[in-house]
Amino acid sequence: MTTEIRRPIAKAAPAPRSDAWRTSAACTSQDRERFYSESQKAVGQARGFCRSCPVIGECLTDTMAQESGRYRWGLMGGLTPLQRLALQWEERMHGHRPDVVAARLLISPQWRYTLHGMNRLTPEMAALRLRVTGGLNVDAVTVRLALWWLGERGSRVRQRGRRQEPEVDRLIRLYGPVIRQLRALRASHHDVAAYLGAQEPIVSLAVSRLEKADKTEMENAA
């Protein structure tokens, strides 16, 4: 099975916006409060509505087109505000949008179980495995979106192994180049933490150590 994998971030004039998809939304007759609740249970219920919503892709695309900066609220298009921020950085880093049609296929009963077993992998490794073992041609950004829609962590930072390495050292060792790349794109500490799925205080420590090391290297080279 082959699926379209890349949706470039088009620079062409945007098509006129249509809100027609809202009439098919699964949440129209629901209590919208739970989509903005602090309670994990309420958010889990709201995510269930999104998962079965026929216009989840349209909702996510439309919501993200209207958001900017740090100001995002509520579960929309099946993602929390932090996940939408991370997805925005995924798009900047990879230069293309997720394939929402392929992501919907991944959360269908046919693929859902397979994807559940991949939650501990990075999105790149999960995409590779889906390609090799399932013949499904999806990219890492799309896989990450599908994991989030299923309610999985879908973090870029792999869960801690057995090694007793301090978290900040591990972050620098495994993700130093990615952190530098994000900072070059003017990502804040908050943005980097969202993208990696890591804790912001740990990311802040890693960023300041990396930037100090880069400064020292430049001074030594001068």
129, 121 in Cβ contact below 8 A?
A: yes
149, 56 in Cβ contact below 8 A?
A: yes
Inter-CA distances, 72 with 48, 75, 104, Å:
20, 9, 23
Interaction of residue 59 with ligand SF4, rule CB under 6 A: yes
Q: Which is nearer to ligand SF4, 49 or 89 (CB)?
A: 49
143, 106 in Cβ contact below 8 A?
A: yes
- Specify the stretch interacting with ligand SF4 by CB under 6 A; choose among 21-29, 140-148, 155-163, 168-176: 21-29
Select from 98, 74, 82, 77 the least CA-distant residue to 9: 98
Interaction of residue 103 with ligand SF4, rule CB under 6 A: no
Q: Which is nearer to ligand SF4, 144 or 170 (CB)?
A: 144
Interaction of residue 98 with ligand SF4, rule CB under 6 A: no
Q: Give the dihedral of Cα atoms 138, 142, 145, 149; nearest 10 deg.
A: -40
Other Cβ atoms less than 10 A from the Cβ of 17: the count is: 9
Least Å distance, CB 49 to ligand SF4, is 4
Interaction of residue 55 with ligand SF4, rule CB under 6 A: yes
Q: Which is nearer to ligand SF4, 52 or 216 (CB)?
A: 52
| Token pair in block for residue 98 | 């997720």
58, 52 in Cβ contact below 8 A?
A: no
Interaction of residue 178 with ligand SF4, rule CB under 6 A: no
Least Å distance, CB 31 to ligand SF4, is 12
Interaction of residue 81 with ligand SF4, rule CB under 6 A: no
Least Å distance, CB 133 to ligand SF4, is 30
What is the contact surface with ligand SF4 in residues (CB under 6 A)?
25-27, 49-50, 53, 55-56, 59, 76-78
